[in-house]
Each structure stands twice: as structure tokens, then as C-alpha cells.
Amino acid sequence: MHEFSIVQSLLALIEDYVRENNAKAVTKVVVSIGVLSGVEPHLLEMAFNTFKEETVAEKAQLVMEIEKLKLRCRDCGKEGEKEELNMLCPYCNSLNTEVIAGQDMFLKSLELEVD
């Protein structure tokens, strides 16, 4: 499953961060998941809960923020969020748009437990 490898790299990243900051553990992990990232939130959560055992993130709560598709229009120059997954400008219906958010999944923030 795609989400398993994502979680493994996420946990590796978290462990590095915890070590660099001399923290004891992680209490909260916030990830941003773009609607076009191809990541299934419930699968990601399941994978996270499976792999976090015996890591620094064992007691961490996973918070998933869904990032909407956001476009910038080259014709009218506006930027807007989309409810539908298509490339039409929400203002002028032009297809001459580019995606500026909603394509990626990334680690947004961490809450660390320190002494």
C-alpha cells in the first residue's frame, strides 16, 4: 500500500526531528493532505497507527488537514479554492489555470514532549 511507505518516511522524518531537538516523544503530528495528492486519509491514519508502535511517535495523535485544490488563473489573474476537482477558474471559467495548492502531502507541524 502506497500509504505504508509514506508513513515510514514520515516517521523517519519525525525521528530525526525529535533527535535534533532532544525531545522525549511526539504528542501530536499534523499533516496536510492535498485533495490531489493521491493519499487516502483513512488509509494514512491506519498505517500511522500501525507503524507508530515502538517509535517516538507511539503516543502521538495524528491530525490530518485536508488541503483543497487551489488554482491561479492566467487570464483573470485571480486565485481561488475549488470544491470540484477540475481546472476551471472559479471566477471566469477559463481553463488557462495552474495548480498552486492541493497536490502535495506534507508534515505541517509537530508537538514535542521535552523535559
Contacts with Zn ion, 27-66, as mask; x by CB under 5 A = ----------------------------------------
Cα(first)–Cα(last) distance of the chain, in Å?
37
Contact stretch for Zn ion (CB under 5 A) within 2-10, 14-22, 33-41, 67-75: 67-75
Of 92, 86, 53, 46, whose CA–CA distance to 73 is shortest? 92
Contacts with Zn ion, 75-114, as mask; x by CB under 5 A = xx------------x-xx-x--------------------
* Contact residues for 52 (Cβ-Cβ < 8 A; gap 6+): 11, 58, 60
The span from the CA of 12 to the CA of 76, in Å, is 43
The residues of the shown chain that bind Zn ion, judged by CB under 5 A, are 73, 75-76, 89, 91-92, 94
